[in-house]
């Protein structure tokens, strides 16, 4: 697997070399230790906390010339102790996070082919999920235009490798996906519009549980992102609408909107306020309809609390969310402190006498730049949950739900 990607990438880089070419090599080592007691879902009354260390190691090779640009990112992600000390050469030990080549077409167009990150606007719909040690990247073809507007057209088609029946059996979210992103800046104001056609495989199985045929069902997401920025104030927001058909056969009609303001009061102090609504499906909704918004491939860890109770591999197709967030940050020299407070509520009605209010989360973080190559970050989060959160997540709302972490990032410069 590694030879399949590394050797062609290195060959392209060296074969395309000219006097104007630039080749750079860099790296990253990022160990993170986490204490978890109720991270992602409520802990049980007698549940013990866990303590573990994960590490991301990356090696980055970049090549740039007038004719071609390439990028190769080798990545190893592991939990300390998950692999034997006397380890064999394991196929899954190192993976490819990015491996792409890009070439110009005239003065305004270029195309990029291969495995690549997709990061657009505030990362609500497309993001690299950098907090996760493994991150997110896509296998696709990307056509780029830069002129009166910036425009990107992406096309992805996933296949399992079989040459019969055109079946896609995973492991990822879509079989066929296209998107169009158009962006324009008007002085202090910038605007984007994003449209995504997301196709998911729907399988037909025989009596043995084997997939014998497959169709593709599509959902469409479309909406704008706006940002107005001055020296001390940034106002931003997005509004997305989703429609189409789910694998379950339900008709989809859902929405999301986010309004956010960030104010830099002084050189050291800044504050922010945000309100986001993601529509959801209530327990009394018709069985053939879904009004649950799915943020698809965004950096969801960034939005609804660092403890990842919502839309980080969970809460899809559920009751939705209303999230009111207040933030405060202090920066002094090499140090930065941040505090976020989230008030969570359900978007859709809950059964019986359950209230919409789900709970409050407090996220405290601190960072210190040791030198130009080493960053230290620590964090602590506390969730105060209600019976409504217990209904959605299980566990015990009366328990203690907290999470703490410490992370070093060592960067090897180019």
pLDDT of residue 2: 47
The CA–CA distances, whole Å, from 242 to 3, 97, 196, 407 equal 41, 29, 9, 37
Q: How far apart are CA 294 and CA 279, in angstroms?
A: 9
Residue 143's closest CA among 185, 177, 103? Answer: 103
353 contact partners, CB below 8 Å, separation of at least 6? none
pLDDT of residue 1: 46
Bridge partners, residue 181, by sequence:
152, 194
Q: What is the dihedral of CA 210, 212, 218, 219, to 10 degrees?
A: -10
Helix (H, G, I), strand (E, B) or coil at 13: helix
Q: How far apart are CA 242 and CA 259, in angstroms?
A: 18
Q: How far apart are CA 80 and CA 345, in angstroms?
A: 37
DSSP strands (E only) in 187-250: 189-205, 211-229, 233-245
Residue 407 near residue 55 (C-beta atoms within 8 A): no
Confidence (pTM): 0.91
Which segments of 343-398 does DSSP mark as H helices, in order?
387-393
> Which fold, 2-412?
Porin (2.40.160)
pLDDT of residue 285: 82
Task: Give pLDDT tens digits along the chain (414 positions).
Answer: 444 555 455 555 455 445 568 999 999 999 999 999 999 999 998 889 999 999 999 999 999 999 999 999 999 999 999 888 887 766 567 899 999 999 999 999 999 999 999 999 999 999 999 999 999 999 999 999 999 999 999 999 988 776 667 778 777 789 999 999 999 999 999 999 999 999 999 888 888 888 888 889 999 999 999 999 999 999 999 999 999 999 999 999 999 999 999 999 999 999 999 999 999 998 778 889 999 999 999 999 999 999 999 999 899 999 999 999 999 999 999 999 999 999 999 999 999 899 999 999 999 999 999 999 999 999 999 999 999 999 999 999 998 999 999 999 999 987
């Amino acid at each position: 697997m590694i030879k399949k990607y590394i050797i062609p990438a290195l060959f392209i880089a060296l074969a395309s070399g000219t006097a104007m070419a630039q080749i750079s090599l860099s790296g990253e080592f990022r160990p993170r230790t986490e204490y978890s007691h109720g991270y992602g879902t409520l802990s049980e009354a007698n549940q013990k906390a866990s303590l573990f260390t994960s590490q991301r190691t990356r090696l980055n090779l970049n090549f740039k010339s007038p004719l071609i640009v390439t990028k190769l990112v080798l990545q190893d992600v592991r939990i300390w102790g998950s692999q034997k000390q006397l380890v064999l050469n394991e196929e899954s030990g190192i993976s490819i996070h990015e491996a792409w080549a890009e070439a110009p077409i005239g003065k305004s167009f270029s195309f990029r082919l291969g495995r690549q990150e997709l990061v657009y606007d505030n990362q609500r719909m497309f993001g690299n999920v950098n907090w996760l040690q493994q991150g997110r990247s896509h296998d696709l073809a990307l056509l780029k235009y830069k002129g009166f507007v910036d425009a990107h057209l992406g096309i992805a088609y996933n296949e399992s490798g079989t040459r019969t029946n055109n079946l896609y059996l995973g492991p990822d979210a879509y079989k066929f996906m296209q998107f169009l992103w158009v962006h324009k800046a008007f002085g202090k104001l910038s605007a984007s519009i994003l449209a995504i056609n997301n196709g998911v495989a729907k399988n037909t199985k025989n009596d043995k549980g084997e997939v014998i045929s497959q169709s593709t069902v599509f959902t469409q997401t479309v909406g704008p992102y706006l940002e107005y920025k001055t020296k001390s104030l940034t106002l931003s927001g997005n509004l997305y609408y989703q429609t189409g058909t789910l694998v379950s056969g339900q008709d989809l009609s859902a929405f999301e909107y986010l309004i956010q303001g960030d104010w830099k009061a002084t050189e050291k102090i800044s504050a922010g306020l945000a309100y986001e609504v993601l529509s959801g499906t209530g327990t009394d909704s018709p069985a053939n309809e879904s009004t649950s918004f799915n943020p698809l491939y965004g950096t969801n860890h960034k939005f609804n609390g660092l403890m990842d109770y919502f839309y980080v591999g969970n809460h899809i197709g559920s009751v939705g969310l209303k999230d009111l967030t207040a933030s405060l940050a202090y920066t002094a020299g090499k140090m930065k402190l941040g505090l976020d407070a989230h008030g969570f509520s359900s978007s859709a009605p809950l059964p019986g006498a359950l209230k919409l209010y789900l709970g409050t989360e407090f996220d405290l973080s601190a960072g210190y730049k040791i030198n130009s190559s080493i960053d230290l970050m620590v964090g602590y989060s506390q969730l105060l949950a209600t019976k409504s959160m217990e209904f959605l997540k299980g566990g015990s709302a009366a328990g203690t739900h907290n999470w703490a972490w410490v992370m070093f990032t060592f960067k090897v410069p180019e």
